[in-house]
Structures are given as structure tokens and as C-alpha cells.
Structure 1
């Protein structure tokens, strides 16, 4: 089996969120697998702006690469969503895509970032569906972006032979909103990533000191500054908590890219008097993320909408107690290993924070259950589920399903 994997949309600066890291780990596992005793061959469809990064990542593997997108000026004004929309539209018009997969001898096209940009008739395409947030929170998108997203998913419906959803929730919502046939839908949970490895104790302390988080205990929220991540509501709850419980020493640490879009967040921090209680660390290297996660008092995750919730599994894998929203896919992922709250109600967030910080039994229970829960989300399981879906699609060799 030879699989072409479209990684063109991936920006290695983290601006596409956690899906980038999952995709890289998945490709590593797929490259080690066999299909009916034959090695799986992988060819990455890369872009001029990320080809070298993928060359470095897969330098010791048999993974091949083909640059299919030349250099483009993505530094123009606009957010990452606008940039990627313009990029995909340009790529659709490029003649280089015609016949490319056949020339490469590809059996299947895999699109881990959803877009079926390099689809060719007669070659099955499988798209990963991460979430369809725009259908539930359209107010978070401008009209142009909303129109693009709906057309984007309609194209997936028209061209993909199958979709792999990252949770049962995502599968159910994609079927509900787009009418994709159930028999062409699969679920593959994201796996715990092996990238988050701790350095030596000395290096850990150096990282904590460099990032200014080596003193008081802190809650950790790793998320890009997109509106659905609900940073403002978290800050509102945290501000109220700090006023009511000045005796409890606790800070709030944020990581995530898109720093140009978080001016509103930082302004809110100043107005709420939280400057000394919050840290914005930006986009961090894997080793730094591991250290910040390892030393936090707990993960807090107030997102309004998720298709999976990768940080939950990462935190549980470190044995960290998890506080999270009771919405969308999050209860499916965290199970009984989290303390839940309604992300639209600050008082519930306050109560969850108070319970975590004042009840050692709650912390111990969540930590133990979290480690057990994290074991369900292995990379091997994820890769196996994807491979089974690929094999099933190739057996069916049916034309793409269209949405209702």
C-alpha cells in the first residue's frame, strides 16, 4: 500500500493547533506498519515552507516527500484562517495537481488536515474530520470564512471515499450537519503523543526559571487564542476566585500561538488586575511544554467546542488533575477522570478550581483516574484504527460518497 499524505496546510509554528503534532506522530507510526506483510510506503505532499521541517522530522525513515506547493507569501495581513483559505484556493487552480498521484503510483490519498486539495478521480481519498465548530458557533467567523468552511466540507463530502472522525461526537455532528453516509465514517481517537519528554531535573528548573513560572503553583491552559477557547470567561472566573480567596496562592499560565490575536486577552488581564497572576508563554518547544505540564497544579480546559481535546490526554498522561468543560467531545475523552463545569458559567469554574486546590483527595483521585484513562489513547491504537480504515476503503473501491 502506497499512501500519499497531504501535509501542505501544516505550519510548523503551531498555528494550526494540536492537529499538527498528532499528524506527525501518526505518520511515524504508519511508516512502521505493514499491510498484508508488505511494508506501507508513505509519500508526503509538502510545501516549500514546510518541506525542510518534514525532511528533518523523517530523516531516519523511509518516508518520501514531494513538494507540491511552491513558496507563497503567507505573511500578508490576516489571520491564519484567512491565509490558509487563500492558500487552498490558489492550490486548487494549480495544474501541478493533475495526475500527480498516478505518477507517484499512489493507492490512497490521506488528508489529515481535512482538505482534499489533491484529489484525483479513481484514487480513494480519506479525510480526517477534526471538528465542525463553525456550524455551532457561526458567530465566531466572518461571513467569508463561514461560507468557505461550508463549501470546504461540501467538497470533502463530494470527493472523499471515507472520513475518519477523531471522536464519536465529531462523527455524530458531521453526519447530522452534512449527511455523510454512516458506512463511510470511521472513528479513530487521537493518541498520547510521545513528543512530550522531560529533560533532566536541572534543565527543567532552568526552563521554569526562564519562563517565569518557577515560583507559585499554577493552573495550565495550553490553547491558541481562538474565540471558542473561551479565555475571557476563564479570566473572569479566575479574577473572581482570586478576590474571594486571596489566601490561596495560584497563578494561571497560558501557551499558544497567534500572539497577534490576543491583544483583547491581555487588555482584559490588565483591567481585571491579573497581571501578576498570569503568564503568557507563547508557542513553546515540545520539551518546554512537557516541563510546564509536568510542574502544573492541574490543567484547566474551558473550551466551548472541541472535536477531541488533545491537552486532556496529555495532562492525564502526566498524572495531572483535569478541570474541563462539560461540552461537546470533552466528556467522551476525559470520562470519569475530570472535574467538569459549564464553560459559560464562571461560578462553576470557580467552584472547580476551589475543589481542586483545597481537596487533596480530589486531586489524588483525578490523577490516578487520569493515568488509567490516558492508557486508552495510545499511538499504536490510533495508527491501527487508521490502517484498518484505509484497508477497508481500498477493499470497497467505491466512488466517493456525496452528502445529503
Structure 2
């Protein structure tokens, strides 16, 4: 088996800052769980990288996967792990890098190549390039640099969907850059089954899951809910928004804090634990997922795993992942969303029952299948 190296810089930083894991972080945690018995940890910053000793790698993995340590504990373990590296580092293997962090630095790839290590990066999405209007100012240029550097220097790329691969190929063609060897490996959900917990709300409610940011379309959904309150008054279902406030969402915040009809019908939960999120989601009438663009769409997968219906934007990647199981709507068709939510909120909704029947045929992605693809790809690269 090839030596495996995992860059854990982003995960360590988030753990030390006591931040809840994002979708990208959960992928990194899954890789750590799978490869930790035989992997070395890599730390990097601005393209400069260090490989930890075998003992320090075990300790670093334990820090990330265990209880949250102090920043001092992390720094102490890292310093001890750097000692004696020259005599303790394998000279060949494959780097698996599951975030976009540091991808823009050619020296990172060159340093790995000098060590005899093949670099494999995961591409989660090209949204900052294809839909810059939904992202922070300046991130388009940074992400394009990341993608172009990976196309030029990576030994292999992992894609989460055919849709992401198609976007990447289009960008490579536009920039006249080569496409490295690649593999598509679907991402598994972080949950596997329902938990034994009562519904947190007796009133019918829907869940919207994810950071509040422009591409998630919260502002539109709040207007949908205002219309529902106008039509149904106190009988209108509730909307539960699970996720922190992100960037460029001032209009959403105005609605949440100043619109009386929205305030009475919307519950905002910015700091849910995984167990709380799971409880809210599994008892919902449906997950509403009106995004303008997604690289994958893990909330959709998690809802279907729990047997929860999904009302989603009509995106190619959603069709790729879930087929015709969800009910798809145009992300700007307010009347259609109002009608569908009203139908799903009914006690004996025929439309909801029909989707529940379709959910029984959902092909749940698993990490076992994911890593079968990755391991075959890794072995192909080192032959």
C-alpha cells in the first residue's frame, strides 16, 4: 500500500478556534478517520509545508477527532512533531488534500514532488468562478488561481460529482490548461439514521440548512414565508433556518430582525449541535433548498437519508445525486414555492406521501464506496 499524507492545516485551525465543521471539514474528517492508521499529517501555510513525524501525526489526528484542545496544546504538539523530521519522513507516497486551502501555491506541489510524493487535490466546486456574484469580493481571482495551479501541477484530482467535473473541464478548456487524471467519488452524509428524539415543535415546520449567504437564497425564501403568513395567518407553517450568518446578507438580516410577519413565523438557529440539527431535520415537513448554485448539496443527501422530503432548486447536480426523488422548483418562482409548501404542510399531504414513497429507492452514498474509488485511483497513480 502507498504511503498516505493528509494535509490537516485547515482542520487544526478550525478546531483551535472552536468552530463547527463545515461540509468541507466533514470530508476532511472522514479522510482522517479512514487513513489515520497509515497516514502522516501535513501542515502548510502560504505553500510552505511540513510533514509531521509518525508519533506526532497520531497525536494530531487524535486532537482533531477528539475533544477540542486549547491553542497552546495544539502548538506544543506541532512543535514536538517537527523535531527529528529529517530522519523520520518517508520519501514516496500520495498526498490527499481535501480542501481548497493552499492550492494556489505552485511551491506546495513542487515541494511534494521533490519528496517523491504525488499531489491529489479535491475540487468541491467552481462557484467563485462561475457565479462570482454570490461570493465575497475578490474570491473569484483567488479561486481561479487555485484551480489553474491545480490543473497545471496536481498529479490527480478528486471530484464530488459529474457536474463539478464538467465545470472544471470547461474552465480548463477556456484557460487552455491540461486536465490531470481524475476520479469522481460521491460524498457520503455525516449521518446514517434517525435518532430517538421527539419533535422540537408541535406546529408544522420546514427546515433550511446552511450558512446565510447570497447563493443560498434565504432572502427569497423569507419573502415566500411572508406571503404564507399573509395567506394563512397563525396557521402558516414555521421556517427553521439552521446556519450562521455569513457575508453580504444584510437584506436577509433586515428581514429577520425588522419584518414582523417574518419574525413570528421564522426560527433562526445559528449554533445548532449536530444532534439538535438532526432532531429538527428529521421531524420537518420537508427540507427547503432553493440555492442558485451548489457544488454538491449535502443537506439534500442528509434529508433523504433521514426519510425527509426535499423541495429543491432545479439544479443539474441535484438531479445527478437524487434523480427525480425531490420536487424541483425554479429558485425565483415564488407562487410555485408557496403552493408546494402549503401542500406539504397539510396533515395528510398526497404530494408529500408520494415523495416519501420515492425516497425508499434513494441510493445512499457511502464512505466505503467513496474510498474504494480513491484507493483504486491512488494505486493507479503510483504504478
Shared fold by TM > 0.5? yes
Q: Is the 8 A contact 1:3 1:41 kept in 2?
A: yes
Q: Which runs of 5+ in 2 are unaligned?
A: 46-56, 68-73
Higher normalized contact order (CA 8 Å, seq sep 6+, divided by chain length): 1
Where do residues 5-404 of structure 1 align in structure 2 (5 Å cutoff)? 5-10=6-11, 11-12=14-15, 17-31=22-36, 41-45=38-42, 54-56=61-63, 58=65, 103-115=89-101, 116=103, 118-119=108-109, 120-121=112-113, 122-179=116-173, 181=178, 184-194=181-191, 198=195, 200-201=196-197, 204=198, 208=200, 214-246=201-233, 248-258=235-245, 262-269=249-256, 270-271=258-259, 273-358=261-346, 360-373=349-362, 375-395=363-383
Distance 1:263 1:319 in 2: 34
- The residue matched to 1:280 in structure 2 has which SS? strand
- TM-score normalised to the size of structure 2? 0.79
* Deviation by residue 1:303-340 (Cα, 9 ceiling, x = unmatched): 11111100111100110011000024122112111000
In structure 2, relative to structure 1, the CA distance for the partners of 1:14 and 1:242 (3 Å cut) is farther
- The residue matched to 2:33 in structure 1 has which SS? helix
- TM-score normalised to the size of structure 1? 0.75
In structure 2, relative to structure 1, the CA distance for the partners of 1:234 and 1:160 (3 Å cut) is same
Q: Is the 8 A contact 2:7 2:44 kept in 1?
A: no
- The residue matched to 1:337 in structure 2 has which SS? coil
Distance 1:229 1:262 in 2: 10
Distance 2:248 2:192 in 1: 27
In structure 2, relative to structure 1, the CA distance for the partners of 1:354 and 1:55 (3 Å cut) is same
Distance 1:142 1:326 in 2: 24
Q: How many aligned residue pairs are there?
A: 342
- Further displaced range: 249-258 or 292-301: 249-258
Q: Which runs of 5+ in 1 are unaligned?
A: 32-39, 61-66, 72-95, 209-213, 396-404
* Deviation by residue 1:122-157 (Cα, 9 ceiling, x = unmatched): 421111111111222122345532211111211111
In structure 2, relative to structure 1, the CA distance for the partners of 1:100 and 1:217 (3 Å cut) is farther
Q: Is the 8 A contact 1:30 1:383 kept in 2?
A: no
Q: Is the 8 A contact 1:317 1:371 kept in 2?
A: no
Distance 1:46 1:367 in 2: 45
